[in-house]
Amino acid sequence: MSDSTTPTANLMEAIVSLAKRRGFVFASSEIYGGLNGFFDYGPLGTELKKNIRDCWWDDMVRRREDVVGLESSIIMHPKVWEASGHVAGFTDPLVDCKVSKQRYRADQLFFAAVVVDEKTVGYVSALESENTTGELQTAAEAFKRKKAIQGTLAPIVAKDMTEAREDEIPLIPSPATGEAGSLTAPRSFNMMFQTNVGAMTDASSVAYLRPETAQGMFVDFKNVVDTGRVKLPFGIAQIGKSFRNEITPRNFIFRSREFEQMEMEYFIHEDADWAKCHEEWIAWCEAWLKSIGLPDSHLSRYTHPKEKLAFYSRGTVDIMFNYPFGVQELWGIAARGNYDLTQHANASGKPQEIFDEATKKKFVPHVIEPAVGVDRIFLAVLCAAYAEEEVKDEKGNVEKRTVLRLSPRIAPVKVAVLPLLKNKEQLVGRAQALYTKLKRRYAVFYDEAGAIGRRYRRQDEIGTPWCVTIDFDTIEKPGDTFTLRERDSMQQQRITETELFALLEEQVY
């Protein structure tokens, strides 16, 4: 039995290490030193990621009658990105350090004036963290001590570099060098990756790797309406790679430059109650995250303030997840009005309207957009599932076990089949027969090497919900039963093959 779950001191470090050790995630091109912001998914990571995608697709598309699928190309006509506003506006504010050549996102680089007895005596800076204000306060105290300034230090007021006045910028120290004078004023940096299509490299061949999958759904809207059997309200969903030249990729796979999105555009009547529909989709997304094992306690909502929304946007709510590095956006659900279809209608000259039988009028549908990153869900499930525990082995000795409490829906391996001894033909034969039958439908692992306790631990660490041991009772006693060992409780019970398949049918969907 599990005696205690101890909080892991550095959860991110433990997860990155497990991900590498057990083949979930590797740095891309690692033998050449890696490439910042790019990752490879190893054998178990590939399975986990595929299961996340498949669960989403099944629940979002196949099990609904009002959503259809799409797979649009990654490189689209460059006019798509002009009409969508990405060429002009898909930017982040960038600050350079002229000395170190480091680049920072201005909204992630914080500074504060050091104010002593109501007089500004200098500036300190810090990169965004879980405790940015605390770090700036400590830096301000150190600054005052170092310069031997007498007087009372005022509590610091943290601002990011987009809020810095022109006269302040030369006085703010660079986080790279600790010295002032090298930071530039923020400027806009477009995050789209550019490429050239065809043999010519000139202005006419410029194209972009898509920074989101969503535009595919807008550009193909008419094709789907004309060919699918869709009627408002309906959705078009897509899963695929997106690319953003992020200034500071960080926090492992949370923010990378190549990532995968699962997006859905839900088209509604222009007179429909968009706020109700928006709320329904937010609730749907929350329930779905829980269905793949994310605990309620780690989820929250962030409603974007009205004054920060784009002019066309009616409302955006992000579902936030409590990652080890802070509460961050996991899933954005935006009510976008009819902005995108209207933009493409104007730019292409092709109307993007639907005919309303009731009013005999044409109109451009409005849209609700739930957009989420597969990699962010992947990291969230690892963070929520990881635990280190002290447990007793069969002899009563206390030992540590690492366990991934992944939902059976997404666990990379559903069942491990373990013959108790590898040199007993009857045990191995029965185990092989069960393994062959199971693997037709499920991802199963066969393991006959080592002590049974150690084999259980190996499966715990990769999140396998069940181990089935073929032991002497299986072959000697009537009933053809196996020992079923459950990962989280570590409890064991005897089970028949029929019961095992029934359990899997119920839990893996």
The contact set with ligand ATP (CB under 6 A) reads 212, 244, 246, 255-256, 259, 261, 329-332, 371-373, 375-376
User: Whole-number minimum distance, CB 107 to ligand ATP, in Å?
Assistant: 10
Inter-CA distances, 321 with 232, 290, 298, Å: 32, 12, 6
Closer Cβ to ligand ATP, 383 or 470, answer by number: 383
Handedness of CA 504, 506, 508, 509 (dihedral sign): positive
Closer Cβ to ligand ATP, 18 or 330, answer by number: 330
Q: Which residue from 148, 154, 117 is spatially nearest to 136, judged by alpha carbons? A: 154
Q: Which residue type does 56 have? A: W
User: Whole-number minimum distance, CB 331 to ligand ATP, in Å?
Assistant: 6
Closer Cβ to ligand ATP, 256 or 322, answer by number: 256
Closer Cβ to ligand ATP, 115 or 380, answer by number: 380
Q: Which two tokens stand for residue 367?
A: 């849209």
Could you please report the per-residue DSSP string of 70-83? ----SB--HHHHHH
What is residue 84's three-state secondary structure? coil
Q: Which two tokens stand for residue 298?
A: 């780690």
User: Whole-number minimum distance, CB 332 to ligand ATP, in Å?
Assistant: 4
- How big is the CA angle at 372 (ends 368 and 376), to the nearest 5 degrees? 165
Name residues whose C-beta falls within 8 Å of residue 64's C-beta, 6 or more positions apart in sequence: 235
Q: How far apart are CA 509 and CA 506, in angstroms?
A: 7
User: Whole-number minimum distance, CB 191 to ligand ATP, in Å?
Assistant: 9
Q: Which residue type does 335 have? A: A
Closer Cβ to ligand ATP, 221 or 331, answer by number: 331
Contact, 183 vs 86, CB < 8 A? no
Name residues whose C-beta falls within 8 Å of residue 329's C-beta, 6 or more positions apart in sequence: 302, 318, 319, 320, 376
Beta partners for 361?
356
Closer Cβ to ligand ATP, 261 or 322, answer by number: 261
Closer Cβ to ligand ATP, 256 or 338, answer by number: 256
User: Whole-number minimum distance, CB 372 to ligand ATP, in Å?
Assistant: 5
Closer Cβ to ligand ATP, 191 or 495, answer by number: 191
User: Whole-number minimum distance, CB 256 to ligand ATP, in Å?
Assistant: 5
Closer Cβ to ligand ATP, 234 or 321, answer by number: 321
User: Whole-number minimum distance, CB 82 to ligand ATP, in Å?
Assistant: 18
Residues in the chain: 509
Closest residue by beta carbon to ligand ATP: 373
Q: Quick one: 85 exposed, middle or buried, by C-beta within 10 A (0-12, 13-18, 19+)? A: middle
User: Whole-number minimum distance, CB 246 to ligand ATP, in Å?
Assistant: 5
- How big is the CA angle at 291 (ends 289 and 295), to the nearest 5 degrees? 65
- How big is the CA angle at 324 (ends 323 and 329), to the nearest 5 degrees? 25
User: Whole-number minimum distance, CB 463 to ligand ATP, in Å?
Assistant: 22
